[in-house]
Amino acid sequence: MKKEITMTVNGDIYRLAVDPWRTLNEVLRNDLNLTGTKLGCGTGDCGACTVLVDGRTVSSCLTLAVEVDGKEVTTIEGLAPSGEELHPIQKAFIEKGAIQCGFCTPGMELSAFYLLKNNPRPTEMEIREALSGNLCRCTGYNKIVEAIAAAAEQLQE
Ligand code: FES
Ligand code: FES
């Protein structure tokens, strides 16, 4: 039996009837068409599905949609403050060449956003640790770490 839930996604309020076994990832991608959130492993290992729920990073593949009833979700589509100009983290990823296939990028950038919100001047080790739940098969990570360090500097200005 479906359950009625209300959640705010990127500032918009949604009222939905969802089956209790459906994941947040499925609902975001299939019901709300927010396909910036990726589905990789589906088992909590790769971080491609990372979103923010009430400001904290979660794996949307392991989170049931009914668990976010009454909560606030931010996906990669909601990262840029104006919705038009890219967020400094997104700009830095482009400028530093930190994106190749791009599959890991939304999750990486939301993990970076969470890090910089809580630790605006992270060391390289702290950046690497913050990304430990996000896997990238393309870049070798160094450019991603450089991009986050650059974004941290940019956000300080
Ligand atoms: S798809 Fe969720 S952690 Fe890999
Ligand atoms: S850029 Fe391809 S998985 Fe990271």
Atom of ligand 2 nearest to the CA of 48: 3
User: Do residues 144 and 99 make contact, with C-beta atoms less than 8 angstroms apart?
Assistant: no
Q: How far apart are CA 135 and CA 111, in angstroms?
A: 11
Shortest-distance Cα residue to atom 3 of ligand 2: 136
CATH number at residue 45: 3.10.20.30
31, part of any domain: yes
Instruction: Place 98 in a pLDDT band, splitting at 50, 70 and 90.
Output: very high
Both 119 and 65 in one domain: the answer is no
Both 74 and 102 in one domain: the answer is no
Q: Is the pLDDT of residue 156 over 80?
A: yes
Chain mean position to CA 35: 12
How many residues are recorded in the chain? 157
Spacing, Cα 2 to ligand 2 middle (Å) = 36
- Identify the domain boundary among 56, 78, 100: 78
- Identify the domain boundary among 23, 44, 78: 78
Cβ(49) – ligand 2 distance below 6 Å: no
Q: Give pLDDT tens digits for 29-52.
A: 999 999 999 999 999 999 999 999
83, part of any domain: no
Residue 126 identity: E
Residue 85 C-beta-side C-alpha neighbours within 13 Å: 5
Both 66 and 33 in one domain: the answer is yes
Both 103 and 148 in one domain: the answer is yes
The ligand with the least distance to the CA atom of 48 is: 1
The ligand with the least distance to the CA atom of 57 is: 1
Spacing, Cα 34 to ligand 1 middle (Å) = 16
Residue 41 C-beta-side C-alpha neighbours within 13 Å: 16
Residue 96 identity: K
Probe target for ligand 1 pocket from 23, 29, 59, with the most ligand atoms within 8 Å of CB: 59
Shortest CA distance to 24 belongs to which of 114, 1, 54?
Answer: 54
Hey, is 69 helix, strand or coil?
coil
Residue 30 burial (CB count, 10 A): 12
Mean pLDDT estimate for the chain: 97
Q: Give pLDDT tens digits for 41-90.
A: 999 999 999 999 999 999 999 999 999 999 999 999 999 977 789 999 99
- Identify the domain boundary among 21, 43, 78: 78
> pTM of the predicted model, to two decimals?
0.96
Write out the residue range of the structural domain in which residue 17 sits.
3-78
Q: Give the pocket of ligand 1 (CB within 6 Å).
A: 39-42, 44-49, 59, 61
CATH number at residue 118: 1.10.150.120
Residue 37 identity: T
DSSP letters of 118-131? H-SS--HHHHHHHT
